[in-house]
Amino acid sequence: MTSPDSPTLALTRELISRRSVTPEDAGCLDLIASRLTPLGFTLERIDRNGVCNLWAHRGSSGPVLCFAGHTDVVPTGPVERWASDPFTPTERDGKLYGRGAADMKASLAAFVTAIERFVGAHPDHPGRIALLLTSDEEGDATDGTVAVVQAFEARGERIDYCIVGEPTSVERLGDMVKNGRRGSLSGKLVVKGIQGHIAYPHLARNPIHQAVPALTELAATEWDAGNEYFPPTSWQISNIAGGTGASNVIPGTMEVRFNFRFSSASTDGGLKQHVHDILDKHGLEYSLDWNLSGQTYLTPRGTLVDAVTRAIQTECGIAAEISTTGGTSDGRFIARICDQVVEFGPVNATIHKIDECIALDAIDPLSAVYARCLENLLLTPT
């Protein structure tokens, strides 16, 4: 349970009250930094193009356990549809309401209070504790965590373990941990034809008619069978556009936008080549622009996954399911400099919605799980 005078609840409320709509930070990082400085953390800002990024670390040797997250939130949508102001943290019916309550200001507060308790109890702890925080996760994600990762790559620094505070739980705190995410590869396909009068089809070339067999084959293709951790790769059309709006004109082009959510059984290069092979086989005249927004990453069962699931079992009394479902997160960037990355946080049922909230009785246990992770990973086993 979470007590009314809980430090984690108080900090969560402070963070929610800051209107940090992406990519704005609204002073959240300064607030967190003010809690870390007295603990002896070294603070480094790696801001870029108006995005605020904080790298904070404590300790000089041993494995690095990093907590990662974001201070930015998505826009509120119509404020009048909220039962209370989205930036005025409000408690009712056993829940704390406000934009970012679950995604992910409660996790940020829980990081801080877990670290405060751990350092207070173990001021000379082995290993190193770190936080990697950004204000650009919900937006373009081009100048946030990726900027910090690029800086680390340039100076040859790495992280040993990373826990990302994304809201991963489904029905109750601790029922699901993410140990990886599928990759995301999008394509913008333009099939070229010849525009003409619909009554004279022999003088035109209909790109829609030409593309249908190829699209049918793409939709029916089994890209891979998945594996122990990932479901099979999925290819889905998201948008199709063609035509002038007139009913008597054969269009000159057709545009198709699609997306792969791919498993570790495939690579982005292999998927691209397979698509081109199918389009070429059908003799299409086309252009195709690709956008890789995230590579697949995976942390198999081992030191970090075991430490997190043990912490959840101890503090929440349940066995967490290990999953790679869902969309992308900043874990895809951190995995470039860290071999073991997992995501764990509150229930995600209301994230990005009107009246976003977190159960009050989950806030202190969330902090307790993070503190237990610190013990499991950094303290010398007895």
**37 and 153 belong to one structural domain:** yes
Do the domain assignments include residue 124? yes
**334 and 370 belong to one structural domain:** yes
Do the domain assignments include residue 1? no
**173 and 191 belong to one structural domain:** no
Q: What is the model's pLDDT at position 149?
A: 97
Element counts in the chain: helices (H) and strands (E): 9, 19
Q: What is the model's pLDDT at position 303?
A: 96
Domain end (from 270, 294, 318)? 294
Q: What is the model's pLDDT at position 380?
A: 62
Do the domain assignments include residue 264? yes
Contact between residue 163 and residue 65 where contact means Cβ atoms under 8 Å apart:
yes
Say if residue 352 carries a ligand binding annotation. yes
**107 and 144 belong to one structural domain:** yes
Q: Domain span at residue 189?
A: 183-294
Do the domain assignments include residue 131? yes
Q: What is the model's pLDDT at position 382?
A: 40
Number of domains in the chain: 2
Q: Has 217 been annotated as catalytic? A: no
Domain end (from 294, 321, 336)? 294
**50 and 152 belong to one structural domain:** yes
Dump the DSSP string for 188-243: EEEEE-B-EETT-GGGSB-HHHHHHHHHHHHHH-------SSSPPPEEEEEEEEE-
72, 143, 315, 364: the catalytic one is 72
Say if residue 153 carries a ligand binding annotation. no
Say if residue 103 carries a ligand binding annotation. yes
pTM of the model as a whole: 0.89
**199 and 109 belong to one structural domain:** no
| Cis preceding linkage at 254, omega within 30 | no
**145 and 245 belong to one structural domain:** no
Q: What is the model's pLDDT at position 294?
A: 85
**34 and 124 belong to one structural domain:** yes
Do the domain assignments include residue 2? no
CATH number of the structural domain spanning residue 290: 3.30.70.360
Say if residue 285 carries a ligand binding annotation. no
137, 143, 160, 356: the catalytic one is 137
Q: Has 72 been annotated as catalytic? A: yes
**150 and 251 belong to one structural domain:** no
**31 and 146 belong to one structural domain:** yes
CATH number of the structural domain spanning residue 89: 3.40.630.10
**289 and 308 belong to one structural domain:** no
Say if residue 209 carries a ligand binding annotation. no
| Predicted confidence pLDDT, tens digits, the chain (382 residues) | 677 789 999 999 999 999 999 999 999 999 999 999 999 999 999 999 999 999 999 998 999 999 999 999 999 999 999 999 999 999 999 999 999 999 999 999 999 999 999 999 999 999 999 999 999 999 988 999 999 999 999 999 999 999 999 999 999 999 999 999 999 999 999 999 999 999 999 999 999 999 999 999 999 999 999 998 999 999 999 999 999 999 999 999 999 999 999 999 999 999 999 999 999 999 999 999 999 988 899 999 999 999 999 999 999 999 999 999 888 899 999 999 999 999 999 999 999 999 999 999 999 999 999 999 999 999 965 4
Q: What is the model's pLDDT at position 86?
A: 98
Chain mean position to CA 344: 11
The 3-state DSSP composition of the chain as helix, strand, coil percent (nearest 5) reads 35, 25, 40
